[in-house]
Amino acid sequence: MITMKTRLFAIALCFASVAYAQADTTPASPITKLEIIDVKAGSGKEAIAGSTVTVHYTGWLFDAKASKNRGAQFDSSIGKSPFNFPLGAKRVIKGWDTGVTGMKIGGKRTLIIPSELAYGTRGAGNVIPANAALVFDIELLDVK
C-alpha cells in the first residue's frame, strides 16, 4: 500500500529531476590553469605591468581532440593592424595580462587559457561559448 508520504516523496523527486534536467549543463573546461609555452624567446625590452604592449595574435577555441588543441579559429590580427593594450590594466582577459607579462620583444608564446581567465560562464557573443578554454599564439612586437 502506497502512503501519502511516499506519493509526496515521488512527486518531489520528479520535480527535482525536471529542475536538474533544465539546469545549465554546459561542461566546464578541461583546462584548469594558465599554460604558457614559449615558442621563441625574445631579446628586446620586457613587457611589465604598466607598459603598453603591441602584439600580433591568433585565437582558437580549445579542442582537446584537435592538432595542438586548436579548434575553431575565432580571431586574428595577422594581416591587419597589430593590437595595443596597457598590460595589467584589466583591458584584456586575465589570461592575456598574466600570459604576456615577462615576454620580450620578438618573443612568441602560446597561451592555453582556462575559461575562468577568459570569458567564463558568460562567453563572448556568438563566437566564444560559455566555459570555453582558449588557445592564443602571441608575438610581442613592441613595449612602451
- What per-residue confidence (pLDDT) applies to 4? 39
Q: Which residues are catalytic?
A: 57, 74-75, 93, 119, 136
CATH number of the domain within which 98 lies: 3.10.50.40
- What per-residue confidence (pLDDT) applies to 91? 97
* 114 contacts 31 by C-beta, under 8 angstroms: yes
Q: What DSSP letter does each residue of 29-45 carry, written as one string?
A: PS--S-EEEEEE---SP
2 lies in some domain: no
- Structure-derived torsion over alpha carbons of residues 32, 111, 95, 29, reported in degrees to the nearest 10: -30
9 lies in some domain: no
Q: Which domain holds residue 139?
A: 35-143
- What per-residue confidence (pLDDT) applies to 44? 92
DSSP for residue 124: B
* Cell triple for 77: 590580427
- What ranges in the chain are assigned the alpha helix state H? 4-22, 94-100
Convert the pLDDT of each residue in 113-132 to its tens digit.
999 999 999 999 999 999 99
118 lies in some domain: yes
In the block, cell 603598453 appears at 52
7 lies in some domain: no
State the average pLDDT over residues 92-106.
98
* Cell triple for 4: 501519502
Number of domains in the chain: 1
Convert the pLDDT of each residue in 45-98 to its tens digit.
999 999 999 999 999 999 999 999 999 999 999 999 999 999 999 999 999 999
In the block, cell 562567453 appears at 123
For 40, residues 6+ apart whose C-beta sits below 8 A from its C-beta are 106, 107, 108
Q: Which of 13-22, 29-38, 57-66, 91-100 has the lowest mean pLDDT?
A: 13-22
In the block, cell 600580433 appears at 56
* Cell triple for 57: 595574435
